[in-house]
Amino acid sequence: MNHEFLQRHKFQLISFIRVCHSEKYNTGKIQINNDSHILHIIKGTAVIHLDEHPYSIKSGDVVSIPPFTPFTMNIAADFEMMNVHYKIWLEDDIPLDSFRKLPVVFAPSYFDVCRTLLAKVIETLNQNLPADPLLHELVLMHFTRTPLHETAVPTADPRMLRVKSFLDKLDFEHFDSEKLAAVACLSKSQMNRSFRKTFGISPLEYHEKQRLKFVCMKLKNSADAVYEIADSAGFHEPGYFCRWFKKMTGNTPSKYRKKLLSLEESL
């Protein structure tokens, strides 16, 4: 059943990272990525806090983290994991994670196959050869052999779809709940309740998430100065923008950009 919607898809490998810690390690500040990533726990144990929910993980477990999901990790000594950062779109250019997604933590019966494939990836990279096909195969293995969670809303309230469409226009200058309520022909309280019921998130939270996504993409893909990115996202006070971004991600915009650059240079 999982195969049908993947028959025509687009896959982009962002990075492959092998992480080893001989001593205890705490990531401390919140981490956030603008891509999907899958963690394969090769050795040891850890606790990952995903959206403030703790999950205990051990060797043989796989962790799936959707884009723009805040997380931290407390890692025990003698730990190893191999992480695949990627993006997948369906044939209509719809991100797969907006349709179906993997469980947050699962222990696949085929983990030994994953180990073998990951060993081939390491060997291939050591020979300075591209490992994209192998990692594509690994990601597809998870999506075709693991029960997925549906994330689409099959019968969304059309009024809430209008509100979402309004929020998707990337006008970050003002968040106007009264205008959103007028779009839905509801009171503000009714609109807020209906939006949360439909999408599992409040309109303001959705607005902030879209805003963060826009800023992260700008920091990654443009050479614009931080103050220019802040202004384009509706922040006209750089100090407030930096405080907002740090609250959302645990990093200042400059540190976030440096982390992305150092990650790319390490590949």
Task: Give the three-class secondary structure for 129.
Answer: coil
CATH fold of 158-266: Arc Repressor Mutant, subunit A (1.10.10)
pLDDT level of residue 96 (50, 70, 90 thresholds): confident
Domain ranges in the chain with CATH number 1.10.10.60 = 158-266
Amino acid letter at 58?
Answer: K
- Which stretch of 72-86, 110-124, 173-187 has the lowest confidence by average pLDDT? 173-187
- Are 37 and 85 in contact, with CB atoms under 8 Å apart? yes
Single out the residue of 48, 52, 65 nearest to residue 142, CA to CA: 65
pLDDT of residue 69: 81
The pLDDT value given to residue 198: 78
Q: Identify which has the larger pLDDT, 154 or 170.
A: 170
Give span(s): CATH 2.60.120.10, the chain: 4-150
Which is higher by pLDDT, 228 or 221?
Answer: 228
Q: Tell me the whole-structure pTM to 2 decimals.
A: 0.64
Give pLDDT, residue 266: 47
pLDDT, tens digit, for every residue of 205-226? 888 888 888 898 888 888 899 9
Mean per-residue pLDDT of the chain: 87
For residues 67-86, one letter each, b for 16 or more C-beta atoms within 10 angstroms of the residue's C-beta and e for the rest, the string is bbbbbbbbbeeebbbbbbbb
Write out pLDDT tens, residues 33-43.
778 999 999 99
> What's the pLDDT band for 169 if we cut at 50, 70, 90?
confident
CATH number of 4-150: 2.60.120.10
Higher pLDDT, 223 or 261: 223
Report pLDDT for 33. 77
Per-residue pLDDT, 258: 84
Q: What is the pLDDT of residue 155?
A: 52
